[in-house]
Amino acid sequence: MRAKIIGTGYSLPAFRADNDYLATLVDTSDEWISERTGIRARHLAKEETTLSMSAEAARMALERANFRAEDVELLIVATITGDMDTPSTACQVQKEIGAKHALAFDINAACSGFLYSLHVAEAFIESGTYRNALLIGAETLSKIVDWTDRTTCVLFGDGAGAALVTASENGGLLSQSLGSNGEKWDVLFCEGRPNENPLRAKGQKCGYLKMDGQEVFKFAVRTVPQCIEDALAKAGLKPEEIDLFILHQANKRIIQAVAKRLGMAEEEFPMNMDECGNTSAASLPILLAQLDERGRLHPGDRIVLSGFGAGLTWGACVLEW
């Protein structure tokens, strides 16, 4: 049995902040942001939370699959921006949507989180432990971004995406290739809240997201094609046999470089970063759900999903829709 996606959903905050709005906060311009990244706007949470967006995306995925929340057996939320340190966002979603029979937990793998959750779900489904899983990627990155740092704050957005996977004999996940390299954790990180207690020094500051953008860029253009090629080889497929390449939406130039390296046309790599920015773990499931909504995904289509991010972490998978 393989894990097959049978329903998708997404949720974006109501407030849309375009590049001109950001130029009122830091010394930047629409021209710089859109030329260097492909991002023109992003949605930022004012009222929404990681939980509320997760629940909305989850409900949409369940509804589109005509599936009851109480029948969900495994519920995983990939996030680095849960609303609480504990309990997990997954347990909160469990209550919110009524998935009362599910085993629920979070995964912290930054922008690769959704792929990691798919990897875990596949293992449980293949082993026969569970027959289905509700996977959510959700982030409120606006709360960990330093809004005085123009090199990072222009890149990120908030949102959530969800996918319901069930055991299937036809299609589904054909192959995967994932990895982590903790040696490079300091290329992209966010310290936790200050640890102030009678045993610790006072005056620690709250951490914000810090990134060596060029190192991440180099890592991405080197590693993403490699893991896609590895996943394709495991599935016995060539790039030209793939209908769509759905990549993590961090930077248009990274996606163009990957397309070139694989010898594929840019049109095969749909993008939504122009409207959503980089939503980390939510990026892949949001784009997947939007493509599903627009009728771009057809039964039998072969699709590559690939992402990379803090950790460092990366991954690719090939699936048949």
Q: What whole-number distance in Å separates Cα of residue 229 and Cα of residue 151?
A: 31
x/- binding map, residues 155-194, to ligand ACO, per CB under 6 A? ---------------------------------x------
Position of minimal CB gap to ligand ACO: 309
Q: Are 127 and 99 in contact (CB under 8 A)?
A: no
Residue 199 to residues 64, 150, 191, 202, 203: CA-CA distances in angstroms?
52, 35, 19, 9, 13
List the interface residues with ligand ACO, window 221-260 (CB under 6 A).
Answer: 250-251
Catalytic residue among 227, 248, 251, 272, which? 248
Catalytic (active site) residue 132: no
Q: Is residue 19 a contact point for ligand ACO (CB under 6 A)?
A: no
Q: What whole-number distance in Å separates Cα of residue 4 and Cα of residue 2?
A: 6
Q: Which residue type is seen at 42?
A: R
Q: Is residue 36 a contact point for ligand ACO (CB under 6 A)?
A: yes
Q: Which residue type is seen at 299?
A: P
Q: Is residue 151 a contact point for ligand ACO (CB under 6 A)?
A: yes
Catalytic (active site) residue 206: no
117, 142, 176, 278: which one binds ligand ACO (CB under 6 A) = 278
Residue entry with tokens 């809004």: 147
Q: Which residues contact 305 (CB under 8 A, 6 or more apart)?
A: 114, 115, 118, 246, 247, 284, 288, 316, 317, 319
62, 90, 102, 110: which one binds ligand ACO (CB under 6 A) = 110
Q: Is residue 197 a contact point for ligand ACO (CB under 6 A)?
A: no
Strand partners, 177: 316
Number of residues that bind ligand ACO (CB under 6 A): 23
Q: Are 83 and 51 in contact (CB under 8 A)?
A: yes
Catalytic residue among 19, 132, 272, 278, which? 278
Catalytic residue among 111, 153, 190, 276, which? 111
3-state percent breakdown (helix, strand, coil) of the chain, nearest 5 = 40, 25, 35
Q: Is residue 119 a contact point for ligand ACO (CB under 6 A)?
A: no
| Region of 32-40, 70-78, 82-90, 289-297 interacting with ligand ACO (CB under 6 A) | 32-40
Q: Rule CB under 6 A: which residues touch ligand ACO?
A: 28, 32-33, 36-37, 110-111, 150-151, 154, 188, 211, 213-214, 216-217, 220, 250-251, 278, 280, 309-310
Catalytic residues: 111, 248, 278
